[in-house]
With several copies, the nearest count.
Chain A
Amino acid sequence: MSVTAPQLQSPRERRASLQASRSERYARMVEIRLMEERVLALFGEGLIPGTTHTSQGQEAVCVGIAAATRPTDTVACTYRGHGMALSLGVTREAVLGEILGRQIGCMGGLGGSMHLSDPRVGLLPTFAIVGAGIPIGAGAALTAQVLGNDDVAVSVFGDGASNIGAFHEGLNLASIWKLPVVFVCENNQYGEYTRIDRTTPVADIAVRAASYGIPGEVVDGQDIDAVEETVGRVVARARRGDGPTLVEAKTYRYAGHSRSDKATYRPAGELDQWLERDPITLFGEKLVAEGALDRARLEEIKAQAASDLERTLEVVLASPPPTEQQMMAPPTATGR
């Protein structure tokens, strides 16, 4: 019995299986980790244009959010969005293909690493301008509120983004209109090469919720169950019509900010400390302790993910880059 054959699954199916099964969540975290590591390697090989922002170490946050929401909910997230896209169900081919600039990518290879999306699982095009997605996510919640359905939206952003105006305006608007939106700050301790405490005078970004009269919560971003529980609870609150919440997930990115950044600005030992609480290891141990999976199974999942990734990469590399004609299609929906 193989874990899954995700390449055969549609995004909706990938999402459903993740939501249904804890072991699938584990597998997805592994999938993300391996994909991100491979992306960095591919960047080193010159196969990825421009830049790319990976999320190793932060897998529990995105998978936890995907587990706590449904595909009709909307997610606005950032350029550091490969993991979120995979979590929500976007296929590996669509993600890796886009990062590599191939037609098989989710926008045909014309957008790139910073711009992943799939409306079928609620993923808005990921945002390359810091903070831009915060109010836009809240706008999806406005749609739900105006139409009177019970969808919610999740705006995901970094610690650094909490210092930009769009954060302030987005949270304030969501509060006064009681929009069904959850704001998740992935506090990975750094904005580019600068430690959060050099730009942000509060220890917990969650305290900023008080400025908007909404609840603020801190959650251990390395513990997927904690993320799912917290996000799930405040998503339910939003769905009930009780308004927005700010959730701060404390986490860490293992790699540098982008492309070839070696993150030499980090104090010695910091990475090691975080590696001790690796979200995949923690979750794996827990699943074993619970008796849900045994260690051999964990290894099988990893092996499966590795071979799935290889197959994905083959498929992606066989896909051509977009054509001149594709580039020249009008950028408007109406063609004018």
Chain B
Amino acid sequence: MAKLRMNQAIALALAEEMERDDHVIVLGEDIAEAEGSFKTSEGLLKRFGPNRVRDTPISEMGFMGLSVGAAATGLRPVVEIMFIEFLGVALDQLATEAALMHFLSGRKLTVPLTVRASVGSGLGFGCQHSQTLERWLLGAPGLKVAVASGARSAYGLTKAAVRDDDPVVVLEPRPLYGRREDFEPGEDAVISLGTGELLAQGTDVTIVALGQTVATALAGAEEAGWSADVIDLRTVQPWDRELVRASVAKTGRLVTVEENQFTAGWGSDVVSDVAANCHGDLSAPPLRLTAPDVPVPYGTALEQRYLPSAEYLADQVGLLLKTGTCPRPWWEGQ
């Protein structure tokens, strides 16, 4: 067992995969000498040298493109995008080139590319450095998207991503980098991409969470007067439809807890699948708990108001159970 911070778990996963396969390289801004803005590549330069661990210029389109080309010709690059927003200058290379290259090569080339990016709010970085933005990637055929919810899943997802023969994006919620979790590293900790995890079992409601909101969901469910299946989706593309449907078939109720704004969050896709496939099972309407449709505010106090909290979750689910209808979100009470 190891008690690691999430950034240490990521660095460990990268080191192990680099050790295991010398085609794995890592690159990004300030990831080599400085060991990453969030210290997620600690020790890698020293251990694997500058040929495989490279600091890049501020050229996301360029080094993402290089990585796509390297992946298609034999390497397994791991690219760091420091904040997910910076994908806005590199999206073409990921969503249009990397995602489609296997298909476009007549299925002859593979693109074993891993893209890591920090995401999320809670540290007070302001509206352009606090989003999760998985929505930019959802629906892109050819692309997989995973989201870590702590050291253990970050470790398991990172290793799975590096080993996967397709482009995989692993999103890392920033506030979790410094948080420790006890877990057993090693082969058994590798997570099968596309599978969610049932973290708590209950009878009243299925709560589906992702990334940072997994802790919110667990905390909200803990003290409540109801009991819940709590699912860490782990991979948001493709996502574990079977696990969610099976749980809803049992509980009859679905709640998603999302860090993103309300409109068109990943939870809409989950709700829409469940609405179509579990219609007869649903004893209450599906409920999405999200942030409001405004930019992420600066400052950690308002940010906490902005994000769905464990208390809010407990209250909203309580209302759902009591009334059998969706309670209005807090901002509509205004």
Contacts and interface: CB of A to CB of B under 8 A. Distances in A.
A176 B32 CA distance: 15
Given A129-B128, A169-B61, A194-B55, A327 B305 contact: yes
Contacts of B305: 324, 327
Interface stretch (B181-189, B242-250, B278-286, B296-304): B296-304
Closest 6 CB pairs of A and B: A139-B69, A49-B124, A169-B62, A135-B65, A112-B298, A107-B106
A143 B69 contact: yes
Given A49-B300, A132-B96, A146-B52, A115 B62 contact: no
Given A143-B69, A163-B57, A164-B60, 18 more contacts: A113-B126, A129-B85, A129-B86, A135-B64, A136-B66, A136-B68, A136-B93, A139-B67, A139-B71, A140-B70, A147-B74, A165-B89, A168-B59, A173-B59, A173-B62, A322-B302, A324-B334, A333-B110
Interface stretch (B6-14, B97-105, B145-153, B309-317): B97-105
Interface residues on A, range: 35 or more
Given A129-B85, A166-B65, A194 B30 contact: yes
Interface in A159-215: 160-161, 163-166, 168-170, 172-173, 176-177, 191-194, 198-200
Interface string B111-138: 1000000000001111111000000000
Interface stretch (A33-41, A57-65, A119-127, A279-287): A119-127
Given A139-B68, A142-B70, A129 B62 contact: no
A119 B100 CA distance: 15
Interface residues of B, number: 81
Contacts of A309: none
Interface of A: 49-51, 74, 76, 101, 106-115, 117-119, 124-125, 127-132, 134-147, 153, 160-161, 163-166, 168-170, 172-173, 176-177, 191-194, 198-200, 265, 321-322, 324-325, 327-334, 336
Contact of A160 (B57, B63, B88, B128): B57
B165 to A, nearest CB: 4
B297 A143 contact: no
Contact of B75 (A76, A143, A329, A336): A143
B106 A111 contact: yes
Given A172-B59, A329-B294, A333-B166, A142 B129 contact: no
Contacts of A127: 97
B170 to A, nearest CB: 15
B254 interface: no
